[in-house]
Structures are given as C-alpha cells and as structure tokens.
Structure 1
Amino acid sequence: MEKVRQASHAGSWYTDNPAKLSSDLGEWIRATGLTKSPHVRGVIAPHAGYSYSGRAAAYAFANIDPTNITRIFILGPSHHYYTPKCALSTAKVYKTPIGDLPVDVEMIKEMRAMGKFGMMDLRVDEAEHSMEMHLPFLSKVFQGHDVKVVPILVGAVSAENEAMYGELLSKYVDDPNNFFSVSSDFCHWGSSSSKIKINFLKYEQSSQCQTMRDSSVSYASAAAKSEC
C-alpha cells in the first residue's frame, strides 16, 4: 500500500476548502505584481498559518517560472522531533487540498545511500508544519506541470554538519531542472545570522510592540537567482 502524507494542517493552519484555497493563493500571488523569472532557482518563505504569513509568502512563490523545473527540494526545520541530522521522508505522495505532489523516490534512495541522512516516519512527517505550509503554494504554481518533491527535515545540525550537508546538496543546485523551496522563521538573533545580508521581497509583522511585555512575529520572503 502506497504511503501517503496527509495534509494534516489543512482546516486549521489554512483552509481545507479546495476552491477557497486555490482562490486565495491565486489572489495573493497576483497581488504581488511580480513576474515569473527563469533565473530564480530557489525561494525562502515563512511557514506560519496563512492568515498570518500567506500574503508575505506569496512574494516568494510569485517569482517561480515552472517551465523547466522537474524536481523540488523542500527543506524545513524540525519543531517537534529531535535529530542531529537532516532526515528524508518515507512517504510516496504529499497530499494538498488542491492537488497531490509525488515524492521523487529514486532521489530519496540516492541521497539515503550517501549514509548521511536520517529517515523520518509518517507520524513525524505529518506532525511537522514547516514543509507542509509550502505545499499548497507549490501545487498552485506547478499546476499542470510534471514535478516531484524531495522533502528534507532539517534537525539540530552542528556547524560542521551544516557545511557537510551544504556540500552534498550543492551538486543538485547546479542542475537547472532542480528547484529549492526553503522554509524559514527568519530568526536573526545570534552570531550565525550576523554575516547574512539580504533584501527581503516582503516583510510583515503580526503586530507592533507597544510595551516591554509585548511580543511580535515577523514573516518575510526571499528568492535566490542564478547569474548565468
């Protein structure tokens, strides 16, 4: 029996009504006023509920030209499951309310054979929201295109292993048929973020802090372009 990852956060983090979801995504993407670019090889977008970050996330996905892309690597941080590694999905299909995305099983096998990646079971996969929040956008943008996904859960990876995983994935970045969708909270605290300079396509906050006891969450989108 084929192992299917259900859209476990549909109906709570975003609507599970297919018509409503498709309409919202299309409206948010059109509202950006951005045009598709064949030079965009990857995006970084938030993973909060769509009522908070959907419009900001659209500024990333609106850049994607799906014409020549056949494989999408989806990277998302682990919020509930501890692992010192990056972990691959065991599912064969990722469901969304507006269309399912098949997993590139052969690529998963190739990467697993490297001996550096862990594997996440379906329970862990469905509990995690970071990658799922990108799936409806990707399903919308790649509608009608033959594309497969490679989901990668990013654990509490050491600086040394960050470099190692970066090296392993770099050869896939070089392939113009591959695309990277990176799910990020955009936290800028600490020395690891101090060297990163980026101009966001869109930046939004859930609210403005008025007192020292207030808190606020920010959402932002970015796109990575190739120069060739």
Structure 2
Amino acid sequence: MNRAPAVAGSFYPADAGTLSHMLNGFLDRTAGDEHAPKAIIVPHAGYIYSGPIAASAYARLKPVRDSVSRVVLIGPSHRVAFQGLAVSAADTFSTPLGDIAIDQSAIQQLQQLPFVGYLEEAHALEHSLEVHLPFLQQTLSHFKLVPIVAGDASPHQVSQVLEILWGGPETLIVISSDLSHYHDYATSQTLDKHTSELIEALDYQALSSDAACGRVPVSGLLKLLREKSLAIKTIDLRNSGDTAGDKYRVVGYGAYVVD
C-alpha cells in the first residue's frame, strides 16, 4: 500500500523538476553548519510561505547526507480528531520526487504502546508530514521513514515514542509545527519570540496550542530533551509577512535544531 501525495500542486509543485529546482533554491540561499542536528523543529505551510525557514534547518543535514538512514517525523493532525498517535500500514509514502520506504520494524516497536495505533484517515490528507518529505528526499541520500500523526496526546506519550526511536547518528527526529496564526505582523513577532524563548528553555508545560499548532509533538520533544540534558536553539524566526504574504494576518514560522 502506498500513501499518495495529497497536497502536491498546492503546498508545493507537483512537477518533479520544478520541485527540485525550488528546493535547491531554498537550500542554496541558506548557510549550512558543520554540526548536523540530531533533531529539528520545522514549519509545514506552503513552500512560498515557510520553505525558506524550513530550509534553514534542512541545509544543516549536508554533513549527514549519507549517514542518516531513518527519519522519525511527527506532525499534528489538522483534519481528523483522535486520541493518541497514529501510524500507517502503508509500505511507502510518495512525492513527485519518488517513493520513501516506511520503517516497518520501527512501527512494530511502537505497537507496544497502548496509545499508538494504525489510522490511515489521519495520514491520507495530512499536510504536516507531507510537506517535509521532498525536503528530506533532497537533503538525504537514502532513508526509511517513521511517519506519525499526533492527535490528543500528552508530552509524556510523545516523549516515550521519541525515546524508543531515538537511536544513534543514523536517526533524525523531525517535528513539524507552525507558530502563531492570523495576528498582525508586530503581534506575531512578539508572540513567536516568546514561544521561541519557551522552546529554548525547554518549558514544554507553558506552550499553548495558540502558540504552536504542533504543540503536542513539540512538547514531547522538549520534555525528552530536558530528561536527556540536551539543548535546542532557534536558527530562524520569521512569518508569512516576511516571505510571501501581507502583514495584516500572518502565520509564524520557526526553525530549531538540537545538535
């Protein structure tokens, strides 16, 4: 079974050549770093809006292009309400750039947790995971994917999943989240700066759903980072008023890395 693209042609180009060219444009305009991240938080809007911010984190994967073989990707559910975390029984997830194999052994590992279950409806039309797949295909040579959609779940539940799959340098953790929604430009800047301060302080209990639509997976990551005595830093913080939208009603985007 294959999970076909749901937002190709709307959130990002459906033509493979056009898509690859757009991704290279974002990545080439972004400075990399010699220290590749273990985990990243990246936004999931249409590429013209959030692509440059996401690229700030993805460009840092260059040193591990050939060594990362598994990506754990967790994003919030926008269309389906459910309890816990949803995995997929699909063998592959596809984009215009090709098919990505699903790490079935990792999915089986998660079945020991009572709040993790198969729910294809949560994956079928969800963009919070899909928009990251072309970025991953463009920046990594070969990897298997563990796609997880977060419903109503606690930080402890998400952190349990991440702990099980944390692995070593072969595993990259990707958390999908936008920030504030539909405030004016100045208000968004203030709110998102505060949210970034909370993220860097690992204060997952203070995050609200208004601050970040991916609060559930973000909070789980922050909880685990606190337990592991790891740090996270902001590397980009902008909004749609800085990229492709007006400044009257904007959406905030941040990129964060765990080295």
Q: Do they superpose with TM above 0.5?
A: yes
1:128 is matched with 126
Q: Unmatched 5+ residue regions in structure 2?
A: 181-194, 199-203, 209-218, 223-230, 243-247
Name the counterpart of 1:50.
Answer: 47
Aligned twin of 2:207: 193
Change (3 A) 1:43 1:31: same
Number of matched pairs: 212
Distance 1:165 1:200 in 2: 21
Deviation, 1:100, is: 1.6
Change (3 A) 1:140 1:36: farther
Flag the structure with higher helix content. Answer: 2
1:57 is matched by which residue type in structure 2?
A: A
Cα separation, 1, equivalents of 2:145 and 2:205: 32
The residue number in structure 1 matching 2:149 is 153
Residues 36 and 62, structure 1, Cα contact 8 Å, conserved in 2: no
Kindly report which structure 2 residues correspond to 1:67-106, keeping only aligned pairs within 5 A, or say none: 67-106=66-105
Identity %: 29
Task: Specify the alignment match of 1:211 in structure 2.
Answer: none
Task: Give the CA deviation at 1:27.
Answer: 1.5
The alpha-carbon deviation at position 176 of structure 1 amounts to 2.2
Q: Within 5 Å, give how 1:1-228 maps onto structure 2.
A: 3-38=1-36, 40-64=37-61, 65-121=64-120, 123-142=121-140, 145-157=141-153, 161-187=154-180, 188=195, 192-193=206-207, 199-207=233-241, 214-225=248-259
SS of match in other structure, 2:110: helix
Conserved? CA contact 1:205–1:219, under 8 Å: yes
CA drift of 1:115 comes to 2.8
Measured in 2, the distance between the counterparts of 1:31 and 1:182 equals 22
Q: SS where residue 95 of structure 2 aligns?
A: coil
Measure, in 2, the Cα distance between the counterparts of 1:56 and 1:165.
Answer: 24
What's the secondary structure of 2:250's corresponding residue?
A: coil
> TM-score normalised to the size of structure 2?
0.75
Q: 1:155 to 1:124 in 2, by over 3 A?
A: closer
State the alpha-carbon separation in 1 of the partners of residues 253 and 113 from structure 2.
34
- SS of the aligned residue for 2:87 comes to strand
Change in 2 beyond 3 A, CA 1:96/1:168: closer
Q: 2:238–2:252: 8 Å Cα contact kept in structure 1?
A: yes
CA 1:18–1:36: 2 relative to 1, 3 Å:
farther
Query: In 2, are the aligned partners of 1:29 and 1:59 still within 8 Å (CA)?
Result: yes
Q: Please provide the CA RMSD for this pair.
A: 2.5
In terms of mean alpha carbon deviation, does 12-21 or 186-195 score higher? 186-195
8 A Cα contact 1:75 1:154, kept in partner: yes
CA distance 1:103–1:191, change in 2 (3 Å): closer
SS in 2 for 1:25: helix
1:199 CA drift (Å): 4.2
Offset of 1:174 from its aligned partner? 4.0
Which runs of 5 or more structure 1 residues have no equivalent in the other structure?
209-213
- Judging changes above 3 Å, is the alpha-carbon distance between structure 1 residues 168 and 217 closer, same or farther for their aligned structure 2 residues? closer
**Structure 1 residues 54 and 176 mapped into 2: Cα distance closer, same or farther (>3 Å)?**
same
Structure 1 residues 199 and 71 mapped into 2: Cα distance closer, same or farther (>3 Å)? closer
- Secondary structure of 1:53's partner? helix
Q: Secondary structure at the match of 1:200?
A: strand
Hey, what's the Cα distance between the residues in 1 that align with 2:35 and 2:178?
24
**TM-score, normalised relative to structure 1:** 0.84
Cα offset for 1:191? 6.0
CA distance in 2 between counterparts of 1:16 and 1:127 reads: 15
Contact 2:77 2:122 in 1 (8 A): no
